[in-house]
Amino acid sequence: MQPWSALDDQAVTTSRALAMDAVQKVGNGHPGTAMSLAPVAYTLFQRILKHDPSHPDWIARDRFILSCGHSSLTLYIQLFLSGYGVELDDLKSFRTHNALTPGHPEYGHTLGVETTTGPLGQGVANAVGMAMASRYEKGLLDPDNKTDLFDHNIWVICSDGDLQEGVSAEASSLAGTQQLGNLKVIYDDNRISIEGDTHVAFDEDVSARYKSYGWEVFEVSAKHNGDVDREKLEQIMEKALLEKDKPVLIRLHSVIAWPAPSAQGTAESHGSALGADEVSATKKVLGLNPDESFVVPAEVLDHARKIKERGAKNYQTWQVKFSEWQSANNDKAELLRRLINHELPANWAKNLPVFSTEKEIATRAASGKVIQEIAKALPEFWGGSADLAGSNNTTIEGGNSFLPATSQMKNAHPHGRIIHFGIREHAMGAILNGIALHGLAKPFAGTFLVFSDYMRGAVRLSAIMKLPITYVWSHDSIGLGEDGPTHQPVEHLATLRAIPDFAVIRPADANEVSIAWREIITRAQPVGLALSRQNLPVIDRTQNNSAEGLSKGAYVLNDSANNFDVILIATGSEVSLALKSQAELVAQGIATRVVSAPCLEWFEQQDQSYKEKVLPKSVKARVSIEAGIAMPWYKFIGDHGVAVSLEHFGASASATTLFKEFGFTVENVVNAAKQSIANSK
């Protein structure tokens, strides 16, 4: 390690000035934390992190997450100084349209940003997922721990706000149980948020809390003048690197907006530009020309960008060892190549089950059977549930529990394929995001559909980042019965469908489940599977069209005649009801088409000619049938259509009783069809 130099001091000073200038120029943003954390971020990028700016996707790199995403300049300035492609003009364009420097870091938009952060707490939980993924992937590539090629750390900077959010507590608790020794979190304890001193709402002993989680905790006090004790912090960072058996929390005491004469330590500096006078005064304190903005001395930038040389040297040294490993481990090298390239093995789906019509089966149970076959074909496929594996059918048989090597729990294995998230739905979603972001694994996890509310923030981020994650949500309607309205989803399908770039699939039967999983794995997009608790008939495909139609989102399941009077559109358990209703309508002389519409998002992606074939505009009599609110359906049934839906909460009774009580009967569907026909005349 090179000794700390005067140029390093200048680089930190420059970082503080850039943070002030960028916010002042655009007129909004969060300068205070970026100013006080400048020495922290600089030390990380220049002296601690294993990374190579020329190879930002290097699989052995350390990951860095800025969980307090509002302080995005903390990251952008280091990406600029390190040579990741962010340049001075990008800092001048901070928080403006199409800039590489949006208000919060966005994954896939700016090179070097490992995850989208901004909703507080999510980054901490993403980091837990990355740390878990690192261990699991190590098991795929180096199960006997013969090399350090794939060993790396996950570093986080988080804020008071991150640790107030429950999602970080959920994830941190699990991280302690998992003994994630490659997770290192720096907690910036500056005691300031938008409403002022955080002690108005948050005065707990955070260090004691994290110790109780099973973390190693270090404390770094601020200097007497209020600045970060950078030297002491680096010593603690080095200690943190030696800790292999516990996650580490470094509690860093800082003064927000240091060294601004009037703004330091104030709530105003958290989320507002300092103002021209305060910027000028601060630059004088820093020994800078107050009349100049966005000044980066050439010698400072040259010095900082020497990290590219050091990174390239480390990468090349690693590459030599990696080539040797490839030669000695052909099978694992081929697996790694496939995973990096996001390829699937040939014929991976050949053993996905085809279900017989002889026996009814709940779609959650069918999903469990499909999961077993996917797991046999794809070692990168792993997951679990929020303490509901038996109900969600998410357990990989014989997969062992993903737990640290020291665990005394039954079937524990550090590279196990069954993740026990505990009753932590929000953290589970955010951890899945971290696993997917880490790059090689295909994660899934389950809970009841009604509890998707607890994880919605993480699901939304899955969609924003377009991550290949599968949410398995069982107990999808009033069909779960006696547990009552607290457990019966009513509005959930509609609200999840409202998330852009997220697909909700509610299969009609077991064979639609099998096709759904095949498409999910192939498409590698964020998806939610809504599955039944109750047994459903397996639709006779000799009398109805193939379940392959699921791949288009909606398809014609059955036509009673070439020309039909009404279209019944249904999802999930209500598709069988639609078929029974069709039979009654036909008996009454009303020609009827039944459309199974398991995924409205995929249907919307089809060309207009296909959509017209399934739902011809000429047939205005339409009935939607779904045991949830009708909000999404009016687009498909139009002004003349009738929705058979559930516009109120459920009740505690058997599924049979509730479906009958709330109008999901042949009689009601037939009457709705007749009403729609009358409306269309």
Please give the positions annotated as active site: 425
Write the CB contacts of 378 (distance below 8 Å, at least 6 apart in sequence): 344, 345, 348, 442, 521
HEC-encoded secondary structure of 109-168: CCCCCCCCCCCCCHHHHHHHHHHHHHHHHHHHHCCCCCCCCCCCCEEEEEEHHHHHCHHH
Structure token digits, residue 534:
């109750």
Residue environment code for 440-461, b if the CB has 16+ CB neighbours within 10 A, otherwise e: bbbbbbbbbbbbbebbbbbbbb
* Residue of 638, 661, 543, 630 lying closest to 594 (CA atoms): 543
Contact 216, 249 (CB under 8 A): yes
CB–CB of 401/416 below 8 Å?
A: yes
Contacts of residue 648, Cβ cutoff 8 Å, sequence gap at least 6: 490
Which residues, at least 6 apart from 199, have a Cβ–Cβ distance to it below 8 Å?
191
Q: How far apart are CA 504 and CA 511, in angstroms?
A: 17
**Alpha-carbon distance 387 to 131, whole Å?**
21
**Residue 52, C-beta contacts closer than 8 angstroms, at least 6 positions apart:** 58, 61, 308, 311, 312, 314, 315
127, 63 in Cβ contact below 8 A? Answer: yes
Q: Three-state SS for 489?
A: coil
C-alpha to C-alpha distance for 66 and 47, rounded to whole angstroms: 17
Q: Please enumerate in sequence order all residues whose Cβ is within 8 A of that of 461, keeping only pairs 6 or more positions apart, or say none.
A: 116, 119, 122, 430, 433
Cα 326 to Cα 43: distance, rounded to the nearest angstrom: 33
- Contact between 419 and 383 under an 8 Å Cβ cutoff? The reply is yes
Bridge partners (DSSP) of residue 85 are: none
Determine contact, residues 165/121, Cβ cutoff 8 Å. yes
Provide the strand spans (E) within 146-296: 154-159, 183-189, 192-193, 196-197, 216-220, 248-253
Nearest partner of 651 among 534, 489, 482, 493, judged by Cα: 482
